[in-house]
């Protein structure tokens, strides 16, 4: 089952984003992310978090919405709690919308969180309508049909990953991708792009051109 998590960051509606959200079977708002429901035209099934950033007028629009309230001094981010809530309800593929564009620490944390779930066997994709971020664990690969000339990057989330990149201006085969190097940054699509991870944990970031 594919679930949608609404986080409180920036969202830029686009035809591409609408297409990715097709077939979603569960919508979970992570605290202030509830306000994205109207923008995206979706109906929330659950609100999760410590409720420190969701506006009263937005909550009033969904008076019967079930709420899973957590203490403000919790160890987990609202995003983690929302993902766990979706997984506990049967989700294996989670789309997180609005995890970027706000605080830098929250943006970085979302990428690392996506990587942790990827290692556990779940797909957690980070979307904002303009950028798409995908975490790939060892032994997995994914392909994307993107317009020719689209910029994308492959970064390691660990000490080192070994990756294959096909359909790009700068293809890679079993290439070592150490942490903190620019080798995988700013590649260019030549059609369908495929990234496979042989060893380690990698992050693929696609920059869509949105008019």
Q: State the distance between the two ends of the chain, measured CA to CA, in whole angstroms.
A: 31
State both tokens at 145. 């049909």
What's the confidence (pLDDT) of residue 85?
A: 96
- When pLDDT is averaged across residues 72-98 and rounded to a whole number, the result is 91
Please name the fold of domain 137-207: Jelly Rolls (2.60.120)
Domain 2-129: CATH superfamily, name plus number: Thiamin pyrophosphokinase, catalytic domain (3.40.50.10240)
pLDDT of 166-187, one tens digit each?
999 999 999 999 998 989 999 9
What's the confidence (pLDDT) of residue 56?
A: 79
pLDDT of 26-60, one tens digit each?
999 998 889 899 899 999 999 998 777 778 787 88
Is residue 210 predicted with pLDDT exceeding 60? no
Mean pLDDT (the chain) is 91
pLDDT of 96-127, one tens digit each?
999 887 778 888 999 999 999 999 999 999 99
CB-based contact 187:152 (threshold 8 Å)? yes
Give the model's confidence band at 211: pLDDT under 50 very low, under 70 low, under 90 confident, else very high: very low
Alpha helices in 21-65 (DSSP H): 36-40, 56-60
List, in sequence order, every beta strand (DSSP E) within the chain: 2-6, 26-30, 46-49, 67-69, 93-97, 123-127, 131-137, 140-145, 151-156, 160-168, 172-178, 187-199, 201-207
CB-based contact 206:131 (threshold 8 Å)? yes
Same topology for domains 2-129 and 137-207, yes or no? no
Alpha helices in the chain (DSSP H): 15-20, 36-40, 56-60, 78-88, 104-119
Domains in the chain: boundaries:
2-129, 137-207
Is residue 207 predicted with pLDDT exceeding 80? yes
Pick 159 or 53 by higher pLDDT.
159
What's the confidence (pLDDT) of residue 130?
A: 87
What's the confidence (pLDDT) of residue 100?
A: 83
Report d(CA 4, CA 140) in Å as an integer.
22
What's the confidence (pLDDT) of residue 45?
A: 96
């Amino acid at each position: 089952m594919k679930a949608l998590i609404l986080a409180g960051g920036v969202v830029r509606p686009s035809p591409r984003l609408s297409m990715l959200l097709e077939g979603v079977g569960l919508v979970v708002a992570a605290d202030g992310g509830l306000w994205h429901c109207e923008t995206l035209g979706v109906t929330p099934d659950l609100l999760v978090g410590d409720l420190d950033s969701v506006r009263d007028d937005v909550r009033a629009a969904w008076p019967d919405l079930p709420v899973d309230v957590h203490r403000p001094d919790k160890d987990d981010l609202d995003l983690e709690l929302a993902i766990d809530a979706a997984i506990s309800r049967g989700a294996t593929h989670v789309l997180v919308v609005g995890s970027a564009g706000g605080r830098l620490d929250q943006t970085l944390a979302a990428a690392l969180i996506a990587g942790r779930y990827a290692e556990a066997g779940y797909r957690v994709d980070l979307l904002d309508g303009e950028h798409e971020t995908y975490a790939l664990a060892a032994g997995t690969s994914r392909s994307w049909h993107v317009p020719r000339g689209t910029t994308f990057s492959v970064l390691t989330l660990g000490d080192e990953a070994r990756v294959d990149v096909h359909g790009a201006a700068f293809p890679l085969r079993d290439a070592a991708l150490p942490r903190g190097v620019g080798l995988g940054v700013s590649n260019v699509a030549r059609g369908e792009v495929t990234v496979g991870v042989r060893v380690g944990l990698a992050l693929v970031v696609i920059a869509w051109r949105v008019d």
